[in-house]
Every structure is written in structure tokens, then in C-alpha cells.
Chain A
Amino acid sequence: MTGMLHLLGRQTLGLVSGFGDFALFSARAFASVMSPKRLGRRVIRAVYEQGTVCLPVILIVGIFTGLVLGLQGYHVLKRFGSESLLGALVSLSLVREMAPVLASLMLVGQAGSALAAELGIQRNTEQIVALETMGVNSLGYLVAPRLLAALLVFPIQTALFVVLGLWGGALSGSLLLGVDSGVYWSSVEQAVEARDIRECFIKAAAFGLLSITICAYQGYHADRCRSATGARAVSASTTRAVVLSSIMVLVADYVISSFFV
């Protein structure tokens, strides 16, 4: 019984201390946006890295999500004789939920994991310590440009996902299942309001900041891994970064949605 209490206490303290450490890291990372020199170039580089790496995946997943939504939506709406509302169903599903969540998960899998692995290797090969000994703010140099890039890339990729998804929905609904194209696009136009688009972009930006901060934290502290060292620690921290970011994107999705519904 005492052993169990000890274990519970240790786990709780570990969790609280972990949250505190993450909060401090995040605060320092956001504050460091003000400090580094020649930040613009590094932000452009980060935008290029995050944006181009994920573009093909966003294109494919966006089109197929729209295709599936069109197909499933058509058969559900047909039961109620409301095929004309297919555009509304596809667009609202995409704009309010699926595009920000799926695009962020794709970005976490590609850009987030790459960031965690890169920082983990830089930690292992003393590159981060070298920066600190040079008097360079390592968070400002390595993390701040990625955070600013995420603020741009996540909403842009989400918008792209929405557009491709709508085209996918039109393709399956109009071209394959016979819903009138004019009816489809008119339904899209009538259903989507400014607040839906605002929700979409707020979610995308929030998911971007949250997931890139988590991935950066895991990679930056790859040397703290208790179960492994060296390459295995980098691998473990990358896995943890992707898993935690994905979970937190879904948690944040619920929290943000509850404010808008």
C-alpha cells in the first residue's frame, strides 16, 4: 500500500514538474523570438522546410478526404432526400474540423518529427552546447524561427487542405454521383460563414504552435531520456514528440471547438 502511494506520489510529482518544465521552455522559446539576429532568413528557411516537406502529403490527404466525405455524405443525405446539402456537409466538416486537425497531424508527422530528430542529434553532438558557449541563445537560433514559421505554414497548409478537400467532394459528389455542380458550390457558399473560417485559422495556428513547441521540447531535451542514450534517445524523443503532439492537437481541438460551438 505504502509502495503504491510512493509510486503514485512520484508519478504525480514527475507529471507536475514535467508540465512546469515545458511551460518554462515554452515561455523562453516565445521570449527568444525577440532576441536572435538575422531571424528573417532563418524563418524563411524554416517556412521552406516545413512547407515543402509536407506539401505532397497535404495534397494527397486533402483530395482523398474530400472524396471520402463526398461519397459518404451523399449516401447519408440521400436517405433524407437532401443531396443538395452535400456542399454544406463537406465544407463545414472540412473547415471546422477535418482540415485543421488532419493537416496538423500530417505536419506533426513530417515537420514535427524532423524537428525533434534534428534537435536531438544537435543535442547529442554538442552543437547546442557549442551555441551556448559562443554566447548564442540556442532557443532563439534553433526554435524561435520554427515557431514563427509554424504560425504561417499551418494555416496556409490548412487552407490548401480545405480547397483540395472541397474539390475532392465536388469530384465524388458531382462528377461520380450526379449532384449538380452549381448546387454543390452554391451550398458551399451559403454554408460557410466568416466565423467558421476564423475558427479554422485559429485552430491551425494554435495546433502549429502547440505541436512545434512539443516537438522542439522533446528534441532539445533528448539527453534527458532515462531509458536510452545516443541514437536510441533521439529515436525515443522523436516518437514521444509525435505521439504527444498528436494527442495534444486532438485535446486542443476539443477545447477550442467548445468556445466556438
Chain B
Amino acid sequence: MGAANTDFLLSVEDLHKGFDGRPVLKGVELGVPRGSVFTVMGPSGTGKSVFLKCLANVLQPDSGRISFDGVHLSARDHAARADFRRRCSFLFQSNALFDSLTALENVALPLEQTTSLSDRKIRERSLEALQQLELDNFRDKYPGQLSGGMQKRLALARAIVTHPELVIFDEPTAGLDPLRRNAVFEMIAKYQRRFSFTALIVTHDVTEALIASDRVALLNHGTICFEGTPSEFSASGHPVVSDFRDSSEALGHSLALIRSGEASKKQTSPLAST
């Protein structure tokens, strides 16, 4: 999993980050193959958001290496960081859309501010992105006037309008019902194939992630405790993997035990006979 490995578009080596002496990331190692859908899963509070913020350069890691397309993204190498930003897009959990801008203006924003394209070209490309995401009829609406699913698609339109090579999705299905969760993963898979970008998804939705991803990793207590294909994940006997994977079954067992305990109490209670 070396930085020089050109099979990986993004690679992370021995990444450490802590706050006030409390370590959150304890040597994360990861390689995201080009053109794949790579999902990092993990329970809440295991450092997924901190990991993403380190990738986005919002937080500075304490130590370790992040490499993009074989180039080390050092904090001092502004050219490499700028190149990474140009070739990578983030899709935030909250969508982070500009509520004072229309859908079209939101999509046009990265092109207006980071390219030298003409106004006409920017409008063409923004409309094309909106059309591809089936939002062209809502170009003059503000984000607040769109449904949750439409906002998610609008955020994706803004993310892909710059034709990025890597799109990072932060908890894209957080707070959504199962049907919408499926729709979001379907959308990611569909557009990932259409635009051929590499997708890095951070989520805790196991079932959908296993169906939609080419590779998955499990982040637990600040380290990657599993990395492999979805079928390897399903077959893994690693205790943390099986705990996370079979969490719904475990809940079923716990509930069954609680119910059976209540039933036996009822049987032994003097009131039960009355």
C-alpha cells in the first residue's frame, strides 16, 4: 500500500490524529484503487469524520502520509494540494449548498471561482450537469425549495461539474429512510459508472455499502481493521467485522433474550397465575 503504487488513486499511510492528547486516528492505512467505489464503514465515534477532514485538509494530521495519484500531499506543498482540490470533489453529509444561490448558481460556483471558462461555457456545463442529474427543471429554485433527495442530487451535480477524478461522500445516507438510502447508493453507482470517477464513501450503512461497493474497509477505534471485497467482508471471521456486520442479528438475539426473560418472570410471578 505504498504511496508510489500507481494502482491507487488515493493512498493513506500510517495516519495519526489526536485532540488534547487523546488519539482518534491511530495509524490508518488505506489504498483506493482507480475507478472503484470504495467504502469506509465504521461505528459512530471511530474517527470517520476526522479521517475525512484530514483528507479535505480541514484538519492537519499529526503524522502520516496522504498521497493522491502518487504525489504526497504535504501541508507545505501548496501546488500538490491545489492540484488535489482541482481533481477531487467532496459531497458533504449536510450537502453544504449555498442557500442564497439558485440551483444553477450553486452548480456554477466551482467553475466560476476556479476556472477561466467564459460565462457562456460555465452556463452550458452547469446546465448539462443539472440535466444529467434530472434537475434542469429546477435550475431557478433555491436549495430550500427542493426535497431532500433533490438537494442530494444538486450537491452531486455541483461535485461532478468540475469533472473530478475522485469524489468523496461523507455519510451520504445519514438520516434517510431505507428506500432513500437505496436511491442514494443507486445514484452514486449510476453516476460513478457514467462519469468514471473514483468514489470514496464513508458510511455506517452495511447492507447498501456491500451491494454498491467494489471494496470496503472497516474503521474501528482509529485503525483499519479490515480491507477487502464485499464478499470477503461477508465471509470474514474477524470479531469486529462480524460484530459490525451482524449487528441486526445481535439485536434480534438480545431482544429475544429480553422477551424470554420477561416471559419466565411472568410465569414465576404470583400475579401471573391470577
Residues on A facing B (Cβ under 8 Å): 36-38, 118, 122, 125-127, 129-130, 132-136, 141
Closest to A121 in B: B99
Counted as pairs of residues, one from A and one from B, with CB atoms less than 8 Å apart, the total is 54
Residues on B facing A (Cβ under 8 Å): 56-58, 82, 85-86, 89-90, 92, 94, 96-100, 109-110, 112-114, 116, 162
**Contact of A126 (CB < 8 Å), options: B96, B100, B114:** B96
Q: Is the CB of B92 within 8 A of A136?
A: no
Q: Is the CB of A130 within 8 A of B112?
A: no
Q: Chain B contact residues: over half helix, strand or loop, or mixed?
A: loop
Q: Is the CB of A37 within 8 A of B58?
A: no
Across the interface, which residues of B come within 8 angstroms of A38, CB to CB?
Answer: 112-113
Across the interface, which residues of B come within 8 angstroms of A133, CB to CB?
Answer: 56-58, 85, 89-90
Across the interface, which residues of B come within 8 angstroms of A134, CB to CB?
Answer: 85, 89-90, 109-110, 113-114, 162
Q: List 13 A-B residue pairs with CB atoms under 8 Å apart, sorted by A's residue number.
A: A37-B114, A38-B112, A118-B100, A125-B99, A126-B96, A129-B58, A134-B109, A134-B113, A135-B86, A135-B114, A136-B110, A136-B113, A136-B114
Across the interface, which residues of A come within 8 angstroms of B113, CB to CB?
Answer: 36-38, 134-136, 141
How far in angstroms is the closest Cβ of chain A from B224? 23
Q: Is the CB of B92 within 8 A of A130?
A: yes
Q: Is the CB of B114 within 8 A of A129?
A: no
Closest to B112 in A: A38
How far in angstroms is the closest Cβ of chain A from B231? 33
Across the interface, which residues of A come within 8 angstroms of B94, CB to CB?
Answer: 125-126
Interface centre among A126, A127, A129, A130 (most CB of B within 10 A): A130
Across the interface, which residues of A come within 8 angstroms of B86, CB to CB?
Answer: 135
Across the interface, which residues of B come within 8 angstroms of A36, CB to CB?
Answer: 113
Q: Is the CB of B96 within 8 A of A129?
A: yes
Q: Is the CB of A125 within 8 A of B110?
A: no
How far in angstroms is the closest Cβ of chain A from B268? 49
